[in-house]
Structure 1
Amino acid sequence: MAEEAKLSIYKAARTIKRRENTLYNALKSIYEDSIFVGEISQLWPQLPLLANLRCGLWYFPSFYSTCYFKSTDGHTNNWSFNTSRLNFHVALLAEGGCFIVDSTRKGKRFPDSMSKTIPIWTCVLNRAIRNHLHKMRDSDLIKHEESSTCNSDQHADSERQVGLDWDSSLHLPLWVSKTEKSAIEDRLEEWTEQLEASGADIASLALCLKKPLRPLWISQKTVIWLNEVPDSDSWDFTPIILVSTSSPSGIFQHRNTSEFSWNYIPGAGDDEESWARSLSPKLFWSNAHDLIKSGPDMCNQKVADIVERDRVYHAQRGQVAPQVTVKCPKFTDCHSYVEPALSLDNLEINTDSRSSDADCALSWFGSTNVAVSTTQVAENVTNVNCILNCGIDSIKVCLSDAEACLHLPIVNSKLDRFSLLSNLPSAVSFAKVNLGKGKKLLVCCHSGEDISICVCLAILTSLFNSEGTFDDGKSFADTCITKLEMRRRLVFICNFAIKARPSRGNMRQVFNFLSGGKVS
């Protein structure tokens, strides 16, 4: 009986949660939280506004750029500094400071990505920059000691100060315990060494940043005196302002407007597959006023109409826009209907300029003749000779030679642990033949950020030497690939594809391929 009672309570709680976590409640919550983001961004309007993927992307109509700091890298006893997510572009953009927007739905004021992952990141980068400045100082001191000019002593004295006052301490918020902070500090030296060994361009960071990076935290509970807001240039550090959009109110707080009653969901933008019904952040903000005005009863149909209209728009232009029948999303109000696939772009495209725009959207890896992008972009490029499509759907390409396009439908490691590994031999062989003929190769997948990045990593490691020159795999045959060497190659890729975010499961398959692993 007791067990049945527990089960009944559990079912009741799930029913309540499902009833409250509707599509309208999620969109209305996001809309309300976005007002706070707009207010904070105006305190320092000159600073770029960045969204932490994927949740943060929902919380403002337009962002300067995006970044990817995972909360799991900041979970207690799971702290990590990951060289596959260096986010160097954030540090370069933050020359005078920047905002990063994210949210949390776990009853916290800040997600772990902001409480620990980003503070670890800033500290490790600061330590690497400090070490670089020390090396530069020591090198200059040696040069000046060998010089006999009359001003050498004065110059050497000034050089001794370079890097000495560069703050490399760990700055965590007050709610992180001293015990946890001490445990993280014990790992900092190891992470710094990993960063330095990865071949990352620390010199460019040191040249760009005039002050050390330091995180600041702002939430809806933060008290800010508007007449005392300091100028960002007045700080003796480069501010990384972490804006958590989530309201400190309880989960599913009931709210009312003049027209509708609704329930607030903190961190509503998280896990979009479970509630968004193929609506993207871009589509939401293009239609935000109509969606919010439609109310709870009409919201689902309104979203379905918007998404279908966007699908037809892309289909009429010969772009990938398949219809997909999906199961009713978990924890949402259920209505059976046919949903189109997620569309990432709703821009009007001029036929004459479409190809040039697509060509500009490619991320070329230096002088390697290898580029990466999305399947949508790949349909319109003109400056490549061959295309390796790693997406699920086939695409129409503008290539004269039909054999210059290879389609390898690779799925994420969560769906198939060996999908990437089993297709890498064909991918590398295709690249070897075409690159050997001097052709320009484009590797693409749906997002251009995970599977295609991993395929490029396998190609560049297998067919290019450490200087980035195509050698038909000669150097690879004589090299034992280690995880460190693979990380170095990934860092090289991330220098050009700044939005790359390969998953651990896919990276593991690449390493197994490069180290001679077999599909089991």
Structure 2
Amino acid sequence: MEDERLSIYRASRTIKRRDNSLYNALRSIYEDSIFVGEIAQLWPELPLLANLRCGLWYSSQFQSSCYFKSTDGHTNNWSFNTSRLNLHVAVLAGQKGGCIIVDSTRKGKRFPDSMSKTIPIWTCVLNRSIKNHRMRVHEVGIQVHGHESNTYCQHTEDTGQVLPDWDCSLHLPLWVSETEKTAIEERLDVWTKQLESSGADILSLASSLKKPLRPLWISQKTVIWLNEVPECSSWDFTPIILVSASSSSGNFQHRTTSEFSWNYIPGAGDDEESWARGLSPSLFWNHVYDLINSGPESCNQKVADIVEKDRVYRAQRGQNAPQISIKHSQLSGGFSTFYAEELKMECGIPCIANEAKSFGDNGQIFWLGSTNLAVSATQIAANVPDVDCILNCGTESLSVSLDNPEKYLRLPIMNSKLDRFSLLRNMPSALNFAKINLRRGKRLLLCCNSGEDISICVSLAILTSLFTDEGLFDDGKSFDHTRITKLEMRKRLVFICKFAVNARPSRGNLRQVFNFISGGSVGSFP
């Protein structure tokens, strides 16, 4: 009997592996992308955003990306996370009149929890903070100018700013129960206070948004009458259109074309490490028709060839200087921000390769999007003239031939899932390298494999340890580890994420930074 059960188990596993094959995943993504394209054409003026990481597979036409986690919307685990504010999404929506966010789910649901609850909570908290900000400005205006309260209504209508009936209610989809909605509403005031105390730039949000944010939901089951699609400008809110790319008609649906039979996988773009075999969304869209037409039998070898060819190509790129441009803008308070963009296109959008923050006149912190570009440190420094030295925190090395070895340091820091204390062990060396060079007035470029996690966390440690609250380098003279709280850390992280909009620091790495800075024991970092 036991052998019989084991045989059944093995057979079911074999069937599941066959159904969840690489070709099935890629073909499912391609079929779902057609639906995403149709929705994008309904509102062509709205920017199309991918919710990382799964959503990035479903179009080659994304203008930007965001990061809303489903875990922040899980029942009884609702959260508004200041480590993932996504304020650039709200600003972009305000500038363009709304936006479209694409994600997917393979759990048999029509929408992932990131769309059902995480984003609705986010829009509501931002709306409340904006209204609070406007009311404070209004109260100050009355005190200074002696205006009556009805003067504010006329003033805001004339300037197109927030109206008195600014919608701050929680908008959830119909499938979320009233009990759950009530439980979420009870937490909104706390989350709003957390946002306002985090140091987030509410002023920029209030300036960008003329109408309150509001989510709308579209799936493959949504009925849309093409002759009745409303103009975005006709709505009394700024729409955040949430598009769930996948079909929810079943986990595995057998489909047949004139050439191949294959099985549809809902949410196939999720958990790419388990199925993609090194293929990235950009590589997929660069070779999409070859891959789809290759069929189930040839797909694996086709992907292997594409991935290997790309690896060789990237390794050879060290022979050619990367194309990097600098554009400079001034911020209030004497701060300067530098943005460097790599000019090559991936998935049809400019790939951000570098963002940098200048603190006062004594030094600058830079971080690169990825060391996977395999360019030499000498060429990076030559093409970004404001860089004097490089701190590489990635596991991949850069080809370095700088004239002074003190200008380059490589610390191969591992992800916290692979090594829980790798960042903590390397932090003293990173801080010492930064301190020596910033003390000399040198400009520091900081990079890691992705530019989303480790380099952000090291930047957070440097900013906290070596700079004043006003953002001026003081060699750590004002630093006092006994006064560093999680709130203070969050404020600095929010400040960094304002410029590194793709930042996705992991909780494990943030925990290590807090432990190092505070001098305490390893604990949680919410």
TM-score by length of 2: 0.88
* 1:221-268 superposed Cα distances (whole Å, 9 cap, x missing partner): 000000000000100000000000011221110001111010000000
The corresponding residue for 2:410 is: 407
Aligned partners of 1:439, 1:158: CA distance in 2, in Å? 51
CA contact (8 A) 2:372 2:396 kept: no
The corresponding residue for 1:125 is: 126
**Identity between Structure 1 and Structure 2 (%):** 70
CA contact (8 A) 1:52 1:66 kept: yes
The corresponding residue for 2:471 is: 468
* 1:451-495 superposed Cα distances (whole Å, 9 cap, x missing partner): 110000001000001000001111113751000000000001001
CA contact (8 A) 1:141 1:159 kept: no
The corresponding residue for 1:362 is: 354
Aligned partners of 1:376, 1:413: CA distance in 2, in Å? 19
The corresponding residue for 2:451 is: 448
The equivalences for 1:128-143 within 5 A come to 128-143=129-144
1:474 aligned counterpart, secondary structure: coil
Aligned partners of 2:233, 2:265: CA distance in 1, in Å? 36
The equivalences for 1:66-465 within 5 A come to 66-95=65-94, 96-145=97-146, 155-156=151-152, 158=154, 163-318=163-318, 351=320, 354-356=323-325, 359-360=340-341, 361-367=353-359, 368-373=363-368, 374-376=370-372, 379=376, 380-382=379-381, 383=385, 384-397=387-400, 399-465=402-468
Aligned partners of 1:43, 1:500: CA distance in 2, in Å? 30
The gaps in structure 1 that reach 5 residues or longer are 320-350
Aligned partners of 1:398, 1:205: CA distance in 2, in Å? 44
Instruction: Quote the offset at 1:155 in angstroms.
Output: 3.1
Structure 1 moving runs of 4+ over 6 Å: none
Aligned partners of 1:478, 1:61: CA distance in 2, in Å? 46
* 1:295-317 superposed Cα distances (whole Å, 9 cap, x missing partner): 01111111111111111111222
Instruction: Quote the offset at 1:403 in angstroms.
Output: 2.1
In the alignment, residue 503 of structure 2 is paired with which amino acid? A
1:414 aligned counterpart, secondary structure: coil
Instruction: Quote the offset at 1:80 in angstroms.
Output: 0.6
In the alignment, residue 131 of structure 1 is paired with which amino acid? N
The gaps in structure 2 that reach 5 residues or longer are 327-338, 342-352
Q: 1:156–1:262: structure 2 CA closer, same or farther, 3 Å change rule? A: closer
- Out of 381-390 and 285-294, give the one that drifted further: 381-390
Aligned partners of 2:483, 2:9: CA distance in 1, in Å? 53
Aligned partners of 2:51, 2:227: CA distance in 1, in Å? 29
1:416 aligned counterpart, secondary structure: coil
1:397 aligned counterpart, secondary structure: coil
Q: 1:156–1:223: structure 2 CA closer, same or farther, 3 Å change rule? A: closer
Instruction: Quote the offset at 1:519 in angstroms.
Output: 7.9
Aligned partners of 1:312, 1:19: CA distance in 2, in Å? 30
The corresponding residue for 2:336 is: none
Q: RMSD of the TM alignment (CA)? A: 2.0
The corresponding residue for 1:516 is: 519
CA contact (8 A) 1:132 1:203 kept: yes
In the alignment, residue 223 of structure 2 is paired with which amino acid? V
* 1:389-430 superposed Cα distances (whole Å, 9 cap, x missing partner): 111121113632222111111111111111111111111111
CA contact (8 A) 1:137 1:159 kept: no
Q: 1:168–1:443: structure 2 CA closer, same or farther, 3 Å change rule? A: same
Aligned partners of 1:211, 1:354: CA distance in 2, in Å? 39
Aligned partners of 1:8, 1:172: CA distance in 2, in Å? 46
CA contact (8 A) 1:103 1:110 kept: yes
Q: 1:264–1:302: structure 2 CA closer, same or farther, 3 Å change rule? A: same
TM-score by length of 1: 0.89
